[in-house]
Structure 1
């Protein structure tokens, strides 16, 4: 292979890798609405209780850096929104849950209604506006209060 062909192959690889990275970046942290999804009980994941209005169920691992920032965002939203609780499950302690719920990356967050039905799934570090939007849809509010 001559130098020009090698450069063309290298350039092609860079373009494909860049495109894949941009697609991944655009999708991570976004809430995907779920319909006809499963129902999760607090006892299924070893939690004491879920929220009376909604639950932000976060699956994390011990050494996951984005999990810590996600926990802060979800904790703040849960503490400032009536009826919403944040529950964090460490998959290091419960690896069985990863297969059971199809968790392929951490953090992964489920937005559950009061009955435990999954209404949205967020892969990667959450975006606060995405979480609030999912809660708005779920709770039938114009805007989730942040005060």
Structure 2
């Protein structure tokens, strides 16, 4: 293989990887529809949902961003009546990642009082995005 061809392939791979990284970064923390998922409170350590809504955070022990999201969701739930924050550790329950289609941590669900997933966030959600998702509940 000639050096020019190898350099061209390396440059093309670099451009492709950069493009994928930009797309993934732009999608991080954005609200998505919850679909037809229903959250079972028995899957969490505390099996009580909030009277208005519950913020369900899926995390793992090795997740670097999960403590930041835990603090954000905990303080957000403390500031709003009828809102609860529940954390589910997928390290000890990997079966839940398949059931709830969680591909990365942190992932946050906004669950209504009946257990229906109304919105989901991949990555760290913003307070503004949480407020928008909760107005729909």
Q: TM-score, normalised by structure 2?
A: 0.91
Mean Cα displacement is larger for which, 92-101 or 106-115? Answer: 92-101
Q: Indicate yes or no: 2:46 matched with 1:18.
A: no
Q: Indicate yes or no: 2:8 matched with 1:8.
A: yes
Let me know the Cα RMSD of the aligned residues.
1.4
Residue 81 of structure 1 is matched in structure 2 by 80
The gaps in structure 1 that reach 5 residues or longer are 139-147
Residue 118 of structure 2 is matched in structure 1 by 119
Count of residue correspondences: 137
Residue 51 of structure 2 is matched in structure 1 by 52
Q: TM-score, normalised by structure 1?
A: 0.86
SS at match of 2:108: strand
The gaps in structure 2 that reach 5 residues or longer are none
SS at match of 1:112: strand
Per-residue deviation, residues 5-30 of structure 1 (Å, max 9, x unmatched) = 22211111111000000001011111
